[in-house]
Amino acid sequence: MPPIPTPARRFCPSHWPALLPMLVRRGGARVLLGLGMLAQLPGAAQAQTLTAPTGAAGTAQQPAAGKGRLLGSVVNEKTGQPVEYATVALLEQASGKTVDGTVCDEKGRFTLTKIGVGSYKLAVSFVGFQARTVEGISVGSNDAVQDLGPIKLTPTVQQLGEVKVTGERELVENKVDRIVYNAEKDITNAGGTASDVLQKVPLLTVDLNGNLQLRGSSNIRVLVNNKPSAIMASNLADALRQIPADQIKSVEVITSPSAKYDAEGSAGIVNIILKKNNLEGLNGSVNNNVGTRGTFHSLTLNSRRGKLGLNLNVGGNMFINIARNESLRTDYLPENRQSTLEQRGKFTNLGGGGFGQLGLDYDLTPKDAFNLSARGNIFGYTNARQQLTRYTLPGAPDDVFNRDIDTHNGSRNLDLNFGYTKTLARPRQELSFLALYTVNDGQTDYDLAQQRPTDGRYQQDYRENSFNDNRNRETTFQTDYVQPLDSTQTLEIGAKTILRAVSSNYRIEADSLDGQGFRLVPARSNQFRYDQNVYSGYLSYGFALGKTLTFKLGGRLEHTRIDGDFMSDNSALQTSYTNLVPSVQAAWDVNKDQKLKLSYTRRIQRPSVFYLNPYINTSNPRNILVGNPDLNPELTDAYELGYNTYLNKSSITFSGYWRQTNNAIEAISRNVEARSILPTTDSTLVLLTTFQNVARNATYGLSASGSTKLTAKWTLSGNVNFYYMWVRSPALNLENGGTMHNANLTSAWQFEHGWSAQFTGLFNSRRIQLQGRSSGYRSYNLAVKKELFQKKGSLTLAVINPFNRQLIFRNDLATEQFTYTDNSYFLNRNLRLSFNYQFGKLENRPARPKKSIRNDDQKEGGSNG
């Protein structure tokens, strides 16, 4: 059914004197809202336009004032709930002249005073409702009090897809404290995952393993709807593959967090905002995506009636990744000898899972609201890998063997969140209590079969099984209080407790085919428990000097206590430390189109269990990875200067920044004899990689981003980030440095009849490491979209790297002991077809702000490949 047209409304300036004194009496916030509603005020019932006649002086002729009063309330006709801040105007019945006016309070109530004897009508309106006129109101005496009772407004109901949008949010927005990438505006995201979306966000880079960096640093914290998740802490790369791109509304990049945020993330915070709707009624959407590298299906339902809102989202996805790799390591031995290790392999990664989310929010009163939510998922994949190894040592026969490794990874994640917000008497005065419980149970097993050439044929000579069960639990309590001191000063104070419990139980069983079957290998098995408790409090003070200068000063005190226990070898770890984290932010509005921002903050990067777990990963026996439970947190000082300007239909932002870390955690690789770490008598050299606080690094950079409308139908946006990183380790007598960059470009076109198209290009340079460097990569996407069913549905076809079958990643390491080169080839060409359909009816409803917990305090691990 087509929408019901709404007649235009105008408000004559001659009516302002009658309403402004009343609005001022009701307070500044209502003045703004009341003035915004003046354009909705109807006059005569037929014309819907106020045209009061004027006297000689040009002012409305008012009847003699009296002592009468008119009382009443405005409610939603369908729900019976009060319509907050509805506009009420009293007019003379005969002439339509405005006599008085007011704005309803939070409970929809209004009172009109000093009403003289006469006949009147009442005009009531509010955005999202059909205007209503109450005729035949008679005041018979000078001091009469008349209660009009509830006045019912009918919501303006429209089918989804029938709302005409006259203004659009930019693809990338530069705000005072963050950069916002509006993912829902990017049609090339349809059918992808969060990893695909984050590749296009300014300042971020994501490799094909899902490893995330912000301005060249992996020291970041990723949140979902301002909340942490245990699955993010266990394996960030896998977690990003579990979030469908179609569920992402926007991504926020916060490079200089205030004291209100946890002191984590030397580079900053990445906050993924999922889609949610605050409108009344029952509505939903169906998403179906199929492609050459995966498929995704989901259903979303939203329901709101009065004070209660419900949100349900369920779905599932599958994916497949195919890659191969080649590596060559040359070891420099005594007496000028050399040995070489050649490895070639390929793998197929097949996986998927299901997810579900249920959210509930309830407005107890206009000033009291609480929300509950539960989000869970089940995720798993199987990695089938084949790897051929050849080790050559002068004077000895080549050691050649092939390994078939089947890895099975499964995880179950549950997040439970509770929030209560109390709006107090003063504007912006607020108290909130928040709680969060999140748990992730994971299991990683592999089955290994090894074959060696015998008489021209490969014969099996060894088998191995690995079992690793782990659990990550977090319990968080947080309270925040906001106290406005006046219109330009705000004080914020809060406290927070995070209780973490991580456990891991892993064991290795080996079968040497000697008839005794699989036997436990104690030296490679262990039970590990790690508790980390963080107690923190913060104080933040924001103020303005004049109309152009704003400041925010803050400090956060965090106390961390760590208790670890390696049960298999009876060793323990206990430590605690306290950190003071200051932050300073300043902004200068040079004029209405230009802004300067300056910030300083100190950040903490605590190592997560990925870096701490002492598990010896020997799935590749010549390249072994092991965690280090003795790591200390990183401390980083970060400075940033930003400039933002608007030119006609264009916006441009420049940022200069400097980060300094004196005890950086770096991956360190060295040659060791196999028998020094494994239960073997083999003296062959293996490459052992672990993590240590051994480096001091500094990053100096300049980033620029902008967007413009070249024509009414063609928009262009992009960003580029150049930076120099220098890393040095006096303990290892190593240093390295170089210039790097990353950039992306997006161009979008709007055509007639519901057609649109978009191109996105991504460019990443090489990356510097303490002991080497890794190569960059380029990628590009093209999507075409057609709106269907009167904009209720859409069909999107996207192609990713159509002219490049694969992406190549090169990793080079070089020390006095060895040189190592690894080339990986990932199949990346992809074709995706996505269909979206929206259904149901919506009604306008003012959104209540909801608070949620942010845990931002751990250095995240990368992908396990």
Give residue-wise pLDDT tens across range 742-754: 888 888 898 988 8
- Please tell me the distance from the alpha carbon of residue 211 to that of residue 197, in angstroms, as a whole number: 13
CA atoms lying within 13 Å on the CB side of residue 555:
3
User: Which pLDDT does position 290 carry in this prediction?
Assistant: 92
The DSSP code for 60 is B
The DSSP code for 81 is -
Residue pair 391/398 in contact (Cβ under 8 Å)? The answer is yes
Structure tokens at 580: 């003071």
Please determine, for residue 651, whether its predicted confidence score (pLDDT) is greater than 80.
Answer: no
Q: Helix and strand tally (H, E) in the chain?
A: 6, 45
In three-state secondary structure terms, 566 is strand
| pLDDT tens for each residue of 100-146 | 888 887 778 888 888 888 888 999 988 778 889 998 888 877 777 88
How long a stretch of residues is the chain? 865
**Pair type for strands 623-626 and 685-709:** parallel
Q: Which of 101-105, 408-412, 845-849 has the lowest mean pLDDT?
A: 845-849
| pLDDT tens for each residue of 176-191 | 567 788 887 776 676 6
With a pLDDT cut of 90, the percent of the chain lying above it is 26
User: Which pLDDT does position 174 carry in this prediction?
Assistant: 64
Please determine, for residue 481, whether its predicted confidence score (pLDDT) is greater than 90.
Answer: yes
Locate all alpha helices (DSSP H) within 462-606, ordered by sequence: none
Per the rule left: phi > 0, alpha: psi between -120 and 50, beta: everything else, 80 is left
715 exposure class (CB count in 10 Å sphere: 0-12, 13-18, 19+): buried
User: Which pLDDT does position 855 carry in this prediction?
Assistant: 59
With a pLDDT cut of 70, the percent of the chain lying above it is 81
- Residues facing 597 on adjacent strands: 587, 642
Locate all alpha helices (DSSP H) within 593-713, ordered by sequence: 609-612
pLDDT band at 366 (very low <50, low <70, confident <90, very high): confident
| 795, amino acid identity | L
Q: Which of 502-511, 640-649, 673-682, 760-769 has the lowest mean pLDDT?
A: 673-682
* Mean predicted lDDT score pLDDT of the chain: 80
- Residues facing 252 on adjacent strands: 180, 271
User: Which pLDDT does position 159 carry in this prediction?
Assistant: 39
**Where are the strands (E) in 264-367, listed by range?**
268-274, 281-291, 294-305, 308-333, 337-365
Please determine, for residue 796, whether its predicted confidence score (pLDDT) is greater than 80.
Answer: yes
| pLDDT tens for each residue of 184-210 | 777 667 666 777 777 777 777 665 455
| pLDDT tens for each residue of 219-241 | 677 777 766 655 555 456 656 76
**Phi, psi (5° rounding) for residue 856?**
-135, 45
User: Which pLDDT does position 42 carry in this prediction?
Assistant: 36
The CATH number that domain 281-859 falls under is: 2.40.170.20
User: Which pLDDT does position 418 carry in this prediction?
Assistant: 93
pLDDT band at 336 (very low <50, low <70, confident <90, very high): confident
Name every residue whose Cβ is closer than 8 Å to that of residue 314 and which is 6 or more positions away in sequence: 298, 299, 354, 355, 356, 357
Task: Check residues 435 and 168 and name the one with the higher pLDDT.
Answer: 435
**CATH 2.60.40.10 spans which residues of the chain?**
13-156
Name every residue whose Cβ is closer than 8 Å to that of residue 803 and which is 6 or more positions away in sequence: none
Please determine, for residue 86, whether its predicted confidence score (pLDDT) is greater than 70.
Answer: yes
| 146, amino acid identity | Q
| pLDDT tens for each residue of 2-36 | 443 333 333 333 343 444 334 333 344 333 333 33
- Please tell me the distance from the alpha carbon of residue 225 to that of residue 275, in angstroms, as a whole number: 9
In three-state secondary structure terms, 230 is helix
pLDDT band at 147 (very low <50, low <70, confident <90, very high): confident
Structure tokens at 449: 């079969």
**Where are the strands (E) in 172-307, listed by range?**
172-174, 179-181, 204-206, 212-214, 220-224, 248-254, 268-274, 281-291, 294-305
Longest dimension (CA), the chain: 118
pLDDT band at 37 (very low <50, low <70, confident <90, very high): very low
Q: Which of 591-595, 845-849, 861-865 has the lowest mean pLDDT?
A: 861-865
In three-state secondary structure terms, 712 is coil
User: Which pLDDT does position 265 carry in this prediction?
Assistant: 62
**Phi, psi (5° rounding) for residue 9?**
-125, 140
Residue pair 239/228 in contact (Cβ under 8 Å)? The answer is no
User: Which pLDDT does position 494 carry in this prediction?
Assistant: 95
Q: What is the mean pLDDT of residues 687-697?
A: 87
**Burial call 260-292: b when 16+ CB within 10 Å, e when fewer:** bbbbbbbbbbbbbbbbbbbbbbebbbebbbebe
591 exposure class (CB count in 10 Å sphere: 0-12, 13-18, 19+): exposed
Q: What is the mean pLDDT of residues 321-339?
A: 91
User: Which pLDDT does position 207 carry in this prediction?
Assistant: 54
User: Which pLDDT does position 318 carry in this prediction?
Assistant: 92
pLDDT band at 305 (very low <50, low <70, confident <90, very high): confident
User: Which pLDDT does position 862 carry in this prediction?
Assistant: 46
Helix (H) or strand (E) holding 195: helix 194-198
* CATH architecture of the domain formed by 13-156: Sandwich (2.60)
User: Which pLDDT does position 191 carry in this prediction?
Assistant: 62
- Please tell me the distance from the alpha carbon of residue 233 to that of residue 529, in angstroms, as a whole number: 16
**CATH 2.40.170.20 spans which residues of the chain?**
281-859
Closest by Cα among 110, 130, 113, 131 to 50: 131
* Dihedral angle sign, alpha carbons of residues 845, 850, 856, 862: negative
User: Which pLDDT does position 110 carry in this prediction?
Assistant: 87
User: Which pLDDT does position 44 carry in this prediction?
Assistant: 33
Three-class secondary structure assignment of 45-58: CCCCCCCCCECCCC
| pLDDT tens for each residue of 343-358 | 999 999 999 999 998 9
Structure tokens at 176: 């005072």
The DSSP code for 29 is H
470 exposure class (CB count in 10 Å sphere: 0-12, 13-18, 19+): buried
Helical packing angle, 28-38 and 16-25, nearest 10°: 150
pLDDT band at 847 (very low <50, low <70, confident <90, very high): very low
| 709, amino acid identity | K
**Burial call 190-216: b when 16+ CB within 10 Å, e when fewer:** bbbbbbbbbbbbbbbbbbbbbbbbbbb
